Amino acid sequence: MNRFDHRKYRPFPVIRKTDRRWPDQTLSAAPLWCSVDLRDGNQALMEPMNVSQKQRMWALLVKMGFKEIEVGFPAASQPDYDFVRWLIEHNQIPADVTIQVLVQARDELIERTYQALEGVHKAVVHVYNSTSPVQRNKVFNQSKEGIIEIARKGAMKVQSEAAKYPQTDWVFQYSPESFSTTEVEYAVDVCNAVIGVWQPTPQRKAIINLPATVESAMPNVFADQVEWFCDHVNQRDSLIISIHTHNDRGCGVAAAELALLAGADRIEGTLLGNGERTGNMDIVTMAMNMYSQGIDPMLDISIADDIIATVEACTNIKTHPRHPWVGELVYTAFSGSHQDAIRKCLAVQAADEPWDVAYLPIDPQDLGRNYQSVIRVNSQSGKGGASYLLEQELGVTLPRWMQIELAQPIQRETEIRAGELTPADIVGVFRREFMHNDGRYSLASYQVDKQGNHYHLQAALHDGNQVTLIHGQGSGAISAFADAMHKAMGMDIQVVQFDEQAVEAGSDAVAMAFVQASIRGQRFTAAAQDGDTLSASLNAILNTVNKALQHNLQVA
């Protein structure tokens, strides 16, 4: 056989359905969301989250409005156990938020899971075992009957252990793991065995979670599986049908959406899609898909910069610049015809009318972003050569994102002047827009101490006639400075873009820094020039703060 030979694989069997109803359905409300960032997302990381990363992720999930959050696998992992205890013992769980923990259908693990949860007001205990043919035959070496018995016994143990902790409001959840590759009739048999043990009611529902543990078919096939399951499972009115898709074929979100059409109630996923292999289904994308159709997603995605910064800090995985809805480049047009169409639409878009702009499916400002057009850089292209001319004048190479930022004020200036700008004009626009030396704060002095990988920074800031001393720490001088500003002024600064360079023009080698920072969910871009790279960087950050203040953002 050839190395790359399609005959190695088989087509996924389809369900011959004659009563398919999901294609005629529409979505009109958000599902119940459950974040699995701290469990599925965490277990897939090269380096699992440490305690402070987990706490930061937890705080974000609560802030976004998640009401169900899977927080770990406490019986299998001591750090997860400790984190669950921290949440409970330090009263970190708001009254309207329910934590969920995962456990295999094994007695000793179920016992330890309940120990981890002792004292919690409410919790979902999520038990699972694997049900697909490959898992039965090759991994567990069990018959169909044997697998059902594991599920039934697990369900009984979950129930009997719960009875030992009557002060907690328990919710039971079962997953036939690898549901998407399990014969659908058999998946119903296994789940019916569990439901027979738990005897849920419409008032006290159980959750049956259907995972596409590995995405193995087109999303329409998965929707058929879900619809078939919902039609045949016992006591449907006493169940919450939950969906947990992965993204192996790149259709994790589509499969989850079609599964909602097919009758599901609840969606498990992660922020920006971190998770095993290609990841879990991305809740940010799915929530924004709904939002863009006029549906309240019941999650706050407006803090997109905060979401990205937190996920990147907790997972050490960068966000793709073209990630749906929130990537760095998704509200940027490079093509002249796109720019033209967008400008025409924006000019007539009224604030109180439904959004209707070519090439922009939503208003970027909803996510704290702006529409950005990029003028192509070319030394012969007149105003289009702004970045090029500026670079010649200042002796620096603008980072791509800075070119994007520069394009808009240059565009405005050419419109105001109705003519071509000289290189000096372009430098003037750049200094006025990004270097704000007349802002409220300026840097008087600073001192940095490095201890191992840790930076301590002290700085003195001029604030009118006063001098303010600030100090902070972080993994770099920049983050230590952001920490110092946060401590002194309660101002949350997230550096979104950062570049610094030596300036080549002139005999005194000086440095220029470019910073884009997210302050209270809004982005500000600034630059600064100085005798050394660090003071240029700190001044650039201060300039973003000055800009934010000029936009009337209050200092707490």
Which residues contact Zn ion (rule: CB under 5 A)? 40
Q: Are 303 and 49 within 8 A, CB to CB?
A: no
Work out the burial of residue 542: count CB atoms within 10 Å of its CB; fewer than 13 is exposed, 13-18 middle, 19 or more buried: buried
**Residue 244 assigned as binding residue:** yes
The residue (of 155 and 243) whose beta carbon lies closer to Zn ion is: 243
Tell me whether residue 40 or residue 433 sits nearer to Zn ion (CB atom): 40
Of the pair 281, 426, the CB lying nearest Zn ion is at 281
Our CB check for Zn ion shows the closer of 40 and 413 to be 40
Residue 37 or 40: the one with the smaller Cβ distance to Zn ion is 40
Distances (CA, A) of 324 to 238, 320, 401: 35, 9, 18
Measured from each CB, the residue nearest to Zn ion is: 40
DSSP assignment of 342-392, as one string? HHHHHHH--TTS---BTTBSS-GGGGT---EE-PPP-TTSGGGGHHHHHHH
Is there a binding annotation on residue 280?
yes
| Least separation in angstroms between CB 345 and Zn ion | 40
Contacts of 370 (CB under 8 A, 6+ apart): 331, 364, 408, 523
Q: Minimum distance between the CB of residue 241 and Zn ion, rounded to whole angstroms?
A: 16
Q: Min. distance of Cβ 282 from Zn ion in angstroms?
A: 13
Count the helices and strands in the chain (H runs, E runs): 17, 16
Consult the annotation and say whether 437 binds a ligand.
no
Contact 307, 284 (CB under 8 A): yes
Q: How far is the CB of 133 from Zn ion (least distance, A)?
A: 19
CA angle centred on 226, ends 225 and 227, rounded to 5°: 95
Residue linked to tokens 């299998």: 76
Neighbouring-strand partners of residue 494? 518
CA distance 3 to 95: 56
CB of 43 to Zn ion, least distance (A): 9
Nearer to Zn ion, 40 or 483 (CB): 40
- To the nearest whole angstrom, how small is the minimum distance from the Cβ of residue 245 to Zn ion? 8
Q: Going along 73-150, which residue ranges are E strands? A: 98-104, 122-130
Annotated binding site: 40, 244, 246, 280
Annotated binding site for Mg(2+): 40, 244, 246, 280
